[in-house]
Structure formats: structure tokens, C-alpha cells
Amino acid sequence: MAADPLLLAEVPIFSLLDAEERETLVGLLERQSFKEGDVIFRTGDHPEALYVIADGRVELFIHDDAGRKIALDELGPTDVVGEVSFMDGGPRTASSAALAPTTLLRFERESLLEFVTRHPHAALDLMTMMGKRLRSADEMLRHTVVQNANIVEDDFLTFGQRIADRVASFGGSWTFILTFGGVLVTWIGVNVILMSKPFDPYPFILLNLVLSMLAALQAPVIMMSQNRQSAKDRLNSDLDFKVNQKAELEIAHLHKKVDQLYEVVQEHWAERVKEHRTASQGKPANDYY
């Protein structure tokens, strides 16, 4: 069954194509089905095609040096898988697998040339959308990985949690200690010295009742605040993990780029040495004197 041109209109990198170009593209797409857990492609594979998700879910992931799986993204209908390697011809930078029964529309690299030959203007449309996606991804990496835990937490605080924080903050301050101490001294002084008929005579049973009620109410409120502090510590740990994970991936990427540059330099140097030796062998003997 052929792809639906209306579906392609919702795919970001094909959104600038006109109706005629989408009709041509439909004829170049091949429908493929994957079961849950099936691998679509692996890191390092040759980019033979890109895939448009028609139905189902796809996960992008990599493995670190220790073999641990790191999930990068989860994609759904109208999302595109493998477009970067498809465009630049480089090896796959991540692996992908189906998270559920999934239907993909496969677009071969060989078909791209045919499509662009028939619709030259479409090449500019594809490049424009790819540039927008790369800029968006770069902006996301710049601003969403390193986050302030206090700001992230404040976005999810309920009214009760805010009250608990304020009560715990006030209960642990010198203002509370001095104020409450003044109330106790005044209470005792009024009942012992200033009143012939005290309303709470020694041993101050009413005062003990008030203190017990205050402690019974204050203790769970403080516990709520302490539990939220533990959640905040876990949030800090999660954000630190994301930062460390990004730094590790960036360092690995830099290592790969340095290795590639080293190989290019070595190849260039070997060619220069070979050319120099060839030129030296072709010179007359008297040139060396």
C-alpha cells in the first residue's frame, strides 16, 4: 500500500514540498513493518535510507564504552529516523529499534537523486528544513541540559508544599525562638505574678496542652519539608547525571573527530612523502651536487 501524501505533509522535513512533489515522493517510498524489539539500524551502519514513521514508536539509543544502553529519544508517527546520516552520507551515529509494532516508510538514498532531478527546487526545501532542525537541536542542547534545580522544582510545587516550606523555615529561625520565648515568659509571668486568680495556675496544664498541640502540628509539617528536600536532592542528582552524560558524549564525539583528523593528516603526509620520493628518484644524479 502506498504512502498517504497527507501524511507526508505533516512530516517536518517534507512540509515545504508542494502537492506535486509529495505525489512524486509517495511513489519512491517503500513501506516496511517491524515487530516490537526489531532493530532498524545500528551505530556505524551505512546510511542506505531514511525512515518516516507511519505508525508505532521508535527508540534512538547508543551504548557507552561500558556497554550500557543510553536512550536518546523516542519518536512517533510523522517523525523521521536517520535523516542526518542520510543527508551527509556518514555512518549512523546511533541505533534505533521498534518499541511496538511499527510501520515505516523507507526512502532510499538512490531515490533522492531521482527525486531531486525531477524536482530541483525540492532540494532547497529539504536543506531548509534540515537546517531548521539542526538549529533547533543545537538550541535545545545549549539551554535544556544544564538547569537550575530550584527553578525546575518551583514549577511543580503545590500550595500545600509552599506552606510547609514557609512553616518549616519560620520554625527553624531565631525570630520563632525569640517570639515563642517571649510568649512563654509572658504566659508564666501573668499567671504567677500579675493575676490573683490565674487562668492557668502552676503547673500550667493549659500551657502544656498548647505546646503539645503545637508540636503535634509542627512535626508533620517539618517532615513534609524534609521529604521534599530529599526529592530536591534526587532532582539535583538527575540533573547532574544529564550534564555528565552530555559531557561524556561530547568528549567521545571530540575524540572521534580528532581521530578522523589524525587519519586525514597521516594520509596527507604519506602522500606528500610518496610524492617527494618520486620526485627525488626522477632527478638526474648531478642535481645532488
Beta bridge partners of residue 50, listed in sequence order:
107
pTM flag (> 0.85): no
3-state secondary structure 115-177: HHHHCHHHHHHHHHHHHHHHHHHHHHHHHCCCCCHHHHHHCCCCHHHHHHHHHHHHHCCHHHH
Q: For all residues of the chain together, what is the average pLDDT?
A: 76
Q: Which residue's C-alpha cell is 642535481?
A: 287
**Average pLDDT over every residue of 271-275:** 79
Q: What's the pLDDT score for residue 34?
A: 92
Q: Quick one: DSSP state of residue 278?
A: H
Q: 126: closest CA among 80, 87, 89, 93?
A: 87
- 256 versus 173: which is more confidently predicted? 173
Q: Given pLDDT bands bounded at 50, 70 and 90, which one contains residue 288?
A: very low
Amino acid identity of 244?
N
pLDDT given at position 134: 62
Write the CB contacts of 35 (distance below 8 Å, at least 6 apart in sequence).
98, 101
How is residue 193 written as a grid cell? Answer: 505574678
pLDDT at residue 28 in the model:
84
Question: Which percentage of the chain shows pLDDT scores above 90?
Answer: 4
User: Which amino acid belongs to residue 280?
Assistant: S
Q: What is the mean pLDDT of residues 126-130?
A: 68
pLDDT digits (tens, 9 = 90+) for 206-252: 888 888 888 888 788 777 777 766 766 776 777 677 777 777 776 76
pLDDT at 289: 42
**Strand, helix or coil at 224?**
helix
Confidence category of residue 1, pLDDT binned at 50, 70, 90: very low
Pick 227 or 57 by higher pLDDT.
57
Q: Which pLDDT band, with edges at 50, 70 and 90, does 163 fall under?
A: confident
Q: From edge to edge, which strands make up the β-sheet containing 102-108?
A: 29-34, 102-108, 49-55, 80-81
**The C-alpha cell that represents 35 in the structure block:** 515487530
138-159 residue pLDDT tens: 555 555 455 555 565 666 677 7
* pLDDT at residue 132 in the model: 65
Percent of the chain, pLDDT > 70?
Answer: 74
Based on its alpha-carbon atoms, the radius of gyration of the chain, rounded to whole angstroms, reads 34
- 8-42 pLDDT, tens digit per residue, is 777 777 777 888 888 888 888 888 899 998 999 88
- Residue 26 has a pLDDT of 82
Residue with the bigger pLDDT between 173 and 265: it is 173
In this prediction, residues 101-122 reach a mean pLDDT of: 81
Q: Is the pLDDT of residue 286 over 60?
A: no
Closest CA to 215 of 182, 189, 180: 180
